[in-house]
Amino acid sequence: MVNDRFIQLLTKELCEELTDAEREELQLFLRESEYSNQKELLKEYWERTKGEYEAGTSMFKKVLEKIKIAESSPPAPLESPAHPDSSESPAPPAYPRRRWMPRVWSASAAAILLIIGFTWYYRSPRPTANKTSIARHLLQKTTQPTQKAVLTLSDGTVITLNSATTIKYPDHFDDSTREIYLEGEAYFDVGKDASHPFIIHADKMNIRVLGTSFNVKSYRNESLSEATLIKGSIEVTLNDRPSDRIILKPKEKLIVQNNLATRRPVNPDPANQDNTGKSTRYSLTNLTYFPNNVKTVIETSWVENKLVFTDKDFAQLSGQLERWYGVHIKFGNERVKQYSFTGFFEKETLPEALDALKLIEHFNYKITDSTVYIY
């Protein structure tokens, strides 16, 4: 089934009038093979015929005529030997079906897609160029390793960005939804507006809220992504499982597996498995607290400039250490990467932090410029 919004975005791309925000949205569709194939089909047809059409009613008529011709006119029959002496009716002509049917289907399907797209694009109200440019222009904020930043959007939403994080957002919201794009980690305090849901696109996750406080962690180079709800309510959908609508309650956390080849499964739930017995891509848990300290929530401790972790293997912890101290960590021993740590750092220097970890598990390290070698 063709997705109307997908066709709208594809049409605008072919017309070279796609905004940055819409290009990001289109890329979410194209991660699925179904939409990628549809794009290639439409693009092929468009390249062959775009010179024939002008925007308006005449364009629609011409496309419709092409569909009718393609679907009603059979190709020339293959020659077959005559049978003048036969009393039987001549055999129906043989058509090169294997070659003709795909061609007609390609032209017809692509033309139909074109009509859907252009019907929407040219017959819908068109705002002035200046207003469109202002409303849909995306701003971008990026924090470097060791840095954090606080950002206030036009609707009053306050976003705290963790290190090595990029967020894209409009300078103001005009549409029925408030949509932004996140890569990294951020804590949100969303301004309430029931008529304009707030939507965050974060790699595999799409998070929809009305007004609440929550944390989103989605680094592309890490095996897990997380959405942690502090108060209010949020709904999460996954790009590859759009029919699953995951509703989080306060103090719940959604964990999404970016890489299924993780060292150990994430809270496998028999009710959340497919018929092969393999764990699905996500699971629900509760907030985690640092041992013996219920006031320290691990998922949001970074907002208070604290690096807190529990039962985390060295390979996973290294990503946090890299962003926290602005270094690159290289392991010379695979066994060391599996060491598990629980700890709490706040004002410690990098050597002090590594020395503290050495008290838990034995390893050696060397710091050269901004690279840490662990072996």
pLDDT per residue as tens, the chain (375 positions): 456 677 777 776 766 666 777 788 888 888 776 777 777 766 665 555 555 444 444 544 454 455 455 545 555 454 444 444 444 444 444 444 434 334 444 444 455 555 555 544 444 444 443 434 334 578 999 999 999 999 999 999 999 999 999 999 998 887 788 999 999 999 999 988 878 899 999 988 999 997 799 999 999 888 889 999 999 989 999 887 878 889 999 999 999 987 643 333 344 444 444 444 443 468 899 999 887 676 789 999 999 999 999 999 999 999 999 999 999 999 999 999 999 999 999 999 999 999 999 999 999 999 999 999 999
Torsion of CA 103, 104, 107, 111, to 10 degrees: -160
Q: Which residues pair with 368 in a beta bridge?
A: 371
Torsion of CA 76, 78, 83, 86, to 10 degrees: -80
Instruction: Spell out the residues 6+ positions from residue 279 whose beta carbon is closer than 8 angstroms to its own.
Output: 257, 260, 265, 266, 268, 269, 272, 273
Cβ–Cβ under 8 Å, residues 303 and 297: no
pTM of the complete model: 0.61
- In the three-class reduction of DSSP (H, G, I as helix; E, B as strand; rest coil), residue 159 is classed as strand
- What is the C-alpha R_g of the chain? 28
**What distance lies between CA 155 and its chain's CA centroid?**
23
d(CA 175, CA 215): 24
Token readout for 361 is 């598990």
CB-based burial of residue 162 (10 Å sphere; 0-12 exposed, 13-18 middle, 19+ buried)?
buried
